[in-house]
Structures are given as C-alpha cells and as structure tokens.
Amino acid sequence: MSTLSRGSRRTAASVGLALVLALSACSTGRSSGGSGGGLATVSGKISLTYLQKQGDQGYFVGEAAGAKARAAQLGVDLTVVNLGSDADKTVVEAKAALARKTNGLIVVVPDPAVGPQLAQVAGDAKVPLLSTDDQFCATSPYPSNCDASELVPRIGFSGPQLGAAVGKRAAAEYGKADWDEGTTRIVSAWEPDVTVCSDRISAAKDAFLTAAGASIQKIDLPTDNSVAGAQAKMAATISANPAVRHWIVWGCNDENVQGAVTALQNAGFGAGDVIGIGLGGYLACKDWASGRPSGMRAALFINGGDVGALAVQTMVDRLRGGRPFPAQAFAPTTMVDASDWRNSALQCS
C-alpha cells in the first residue's frame, strides 16, 4: 500500500479512478449502514470519521493524507482515527464518532468479524457506512460466506486484478531465469482471514501457472501481514526445505514479501536466486533506492491516497446529493521496478 503526494487537490475524475459497479448500489438494510433511500441529505457542514487499521503503516498514512486533502477541498470536517490492530476499538470509536454526530463513517476494519456489529450501530444511527480496502459484511463475520447484498460498499482495489498482475510479473521474471523446477519453490505469504488477501494470492497463483507454464511446488505461508511475521515464518520454511536453491515470493502486501526476502537474504541466498514481487511498492523501493542488488524484482504500486480521496468523495456525494454508493469502486495500479519507480508517484516509507 502506498503514499499519496501531499496536498493533492485532484477531483475524482482527474485522478483517473475507475469506478467499477460490480453490483447495484446497496439501498436498503444494514449493509448500507442506514443509508437507504429515505436518508436525508446534508445541506450544511459535513463531518466525517475515517477509522483505519494500522494507521502508521505507509499505505494507510498515504490513504489518510489523500482523504484529508479531498476533505479540505470539499470543505468537509474529517477526523481520522488509528485503530492499530484492535478490532474491539473499531466499534468503540464508531460509537464515539456517532455520539459526536458524525454524518458518515468510513472504515478499514482490523478484523472483518466486527462487521455485523459495526453495521448495526451505523444502521441504528441512520448514518451511512462505507468500507475501504478490506471487505466486511453486515450480517456475517466472514465476508467470503456473505450474500452479495449484505456486503458493505467498498472503495479499494480488485484483489483478483492485483494478484493477476503480480503473478504475471513473477512468471516473466521466472522466464528470464535458468532455474530447475525441482529445486525451486513458490511462497505465498498472507493472512488467510483477510478475504482480499486470499483473492490476491489465488489470482497470483493462477496467473503465474498460466503465463509460466511451469509445475513448481507452492508453499502457503500464513502470516499476520507484517514484515516481522513473514520473516519469522519464512526463516522456518527455509530450514524445513534445505534442498531448495531458488525461491519465488509473492504476498498480500509489501510487508509479506519484504519479510520473506529478508529471511532469504539472511540465510545466504543471493539476489539472483530470489524473485520477490511486492504489492504496494513502499517497502520495495527502499531496496532499490539503496542501489544494492535485491531479490525484490518488482512491485505493484497501489496508491492509498487515491483510495482515501475517492472514499471521501463517494461519501460526500451520498450525503450532499443522495447519490447511491457503488457496491465497489476500484483505483488503478502500476507495476514498477528498480529502473522506473522514481518516475511514478510512489513514495518510500
């Protein structure tokens, strides 16, 4: 996840965000957070609350910056709250925001299990609820088991599209390498409970197999989506597979890939024996900026600032003009590497 150029004042159209209406907009029920057709528009000053997990992570810092810039442009009061990884804090802060008479809630949930309770409190207060990044459901703690009509409207990225781009680039890098399939392994690192992560991982695998045409053993690496967590799990995986000479690594985010690549480096694997494809780019670019050889071959740059800006714009459009939420809206992405990342809007964090 990535950062946005500070002070951006681009409109939703000018940032080139592609609104993808995957489903019809939710208009009734808890999944809309009480934002049904009967919800009155707001004619005066709008106050919004943005609840973010891992608010000190590079991507989410950029997301908050993009949200603040758009709110300032639109004359909206915006409060951003860092939830860290505390799922319980999500509902507590949502209730506090509603007590302050916030007009709309935008949330990146630390755990989708809080979805039903969060949707309930927003619905009871008749305040619209919008998700960014991670999907959550109004009636089930498991978004993957949720009826489509009960998924909370979401602004973010398409998991399958992200994963497919990563898998294709990994296949291209593998095609340049003279590696034996028998001594090569693919590592997929992600937090399985996060639905969007599973979507990315599955799509990466399918795209790689289609593009590479290679039969390489794949190792699933459940992590907590952090650098330290991925590094520790990868270190154990290396020890358990002493015959492996070459590694292909992808994950849900830059943290997973960076952690795995670091573990491989610490175990003595050279940059030429590792193909790491990041997702975010904000950590990958640190390796590239150092000028030293790195197993991080490329990364898919996803701009959190664009997501934050679009989320605020979407909420304001709902509150001021009564425009229904799209079921999902996706932002564009760009694959970057050591040769061209400085020409993108990517900022190292």
Nearest one of 159, 232, 227, 165 to 198, comparing CA atoms: 159
Q: What angle do CA 223, 229, 231 make, to 5 degrees?
A: 110
Model confidence at 121: pLDDT above 90: yes
pLDDT recorded at residue 349: 66
- pLDDT of residue 114 exceeding 70, the answer is yes
pLDDT at 17 over 90: no
User: What is the Cα–Cα distance from 292 to 324, expressed in whole angstroms?
Assistant: 49
Side-chain half-sphere exposure of 274, counting CA atoms within 13 A: 29
Q: What does pLDDT average to over the chain?
A: 88
Q: Is the pLDDT at 1 greater than 80, yes or no?
A: no
pLDDT surpasses 50 at 28: no
As a whole number of angstroms, the distance between CA 55 and CA 67 comes to 13
Q: In what order do the strands lie in the sheet with 274-280?
A: 217-222, 184-190, 246-251, 274-280, 296-302, 333-336
Q: What is the mean pLDDT of residues 92-97?
A: 98
Token pair of 174 as six digits: 């593998």
Lowest mean pLDDT across 14-23, 87-96, 274-283: 14-23
Return the percentage of the chain with pLDDT > 90, whole number.
Answer: 79
Residue the block writes with tokens 């000479």: 245
pTM: 0.73
DSSP per position, 170-186? HHHHHHHS---GGGEEE
Of the listed ranges 27-31, 70-74, 167-171, the least confidently predicted one is 27-31
Separation in Å, CA 192 to CA 111, 144, 225:
12, 11, 9
Averaged pLDDT, 187-196:
92
Distance CA 263, CA 298 (A): 18
Beta strand pairing status for 333-336 and 296-302? Answer: antiparallel
The residues, ordered by sequence, that sit 6+ positions from 139 with a Cβ below 8 Å of its Cβ are 30, 31, 116, 119, 146, 147, 150
For 253, phi then psi, to 5°, come to: -150, 180
The confidence score (pLDDT) of residue 40 equals 63
Confidence label for 332 from pLDDT (cuts 50, 70 and 90): confident
The pLDDT score that the predictor gives to residue 7 is 33
Q: Which two tokens stand for residue 277?
A: 């494809």
With tokens 């904000």, the residue in question is: 282
Mean pLDDT of 77-86: 96
Residues above pLDDT 70, as percent of the chain: 88
Report the distance separating Cα 99 and Cα 77, nearest Å.
Answer: 15
What value does the CA radius of gyration of the chain take, rounded to a whole number of Å?
A: 20
* Dist. CA 223–CA 191, nearest whole Å: 5
**Helix, strand or coil, per DSSP, at residue 123:** helix
